[in-house]
A and B are shown apart, each in its own frame.
Chain A
């Protein structure tokens, strides 16, 4: 079945450094790849997304890249700040009856040390 693998499970960086989280997906029909940030005790928040017809997208300090051939996509956070500390989830969405089926990765816990 559909699967999304996410690495690493935990990532610790120094404030100001960059953080990279990588995901791979299995279903080639996936055409939408969102990233979510989840703070403790809260629901996930959509922070950036990319569609299959785009290779890269940037929004201030965060960027996503997509390699459809390799079925890889990545989240890049530059100039990390302590408030970036959270759990980040990648996901891959596949068109489904009336909507989309979204498969989530297991999450990456990011610690940014001040």
Chain B
């Protein structure tokens, strides 16, 4: 069966520091991968999606970037965090050609 992992689970970072969040998927190959951000009490905002290694599409211009160095690895990064980057970051995967999208456990980021 497929599983999706995210780490770290929680993170507290000062403004201006760098960020690296990692997402990995097991039990599948060539998945579509997604990064979402969820502000407190709000819905999900799509940040990036990837249909293959090195292929990244950005949905919202912002202080963040994404990379996919391996088939089942998706990384969310920032060079300098802003207070507004605080939130709950969710990675999701979807088998190419299928509809169902499955979420990881999330990373709660607090920028102080």
Contact = CB atoms under 8 A, between A and B. Distances in A.
Does B bind A? yes
Contacts of B42: 106-107
Contact of A34 (B51, B55, B99, B105): B99
Q: Which of A43, A49, A106, A107 has the most CB of B within 10 A?
A: A43
Interface stretch (A12-20, A57-65, A74-82, A91-99): A91-99
A43 B90 contact: yes
B103 A104 contact: no
Nearest to B57: A97
**Contact residues of A: prevailing secondary structure:** strand
Interface in A66-114: 89, 93, 97-102, 104-107
Interface residues of A, number: 24
Interface of B: 32, 41-44, 46, 49, 51-52, 55, 57, 90, 94, 96, 99-106, 108
Given A43-B106, A97-B51, A102-B46, 14 more contacts: A6-B43, A41-B106, A42-B105, A42-B106, A44-B103, A93-B101, A97-B57, A98-B51, A99-B51, A99-B94, A100-B101, A106-B42, A107-B41, A107-B42
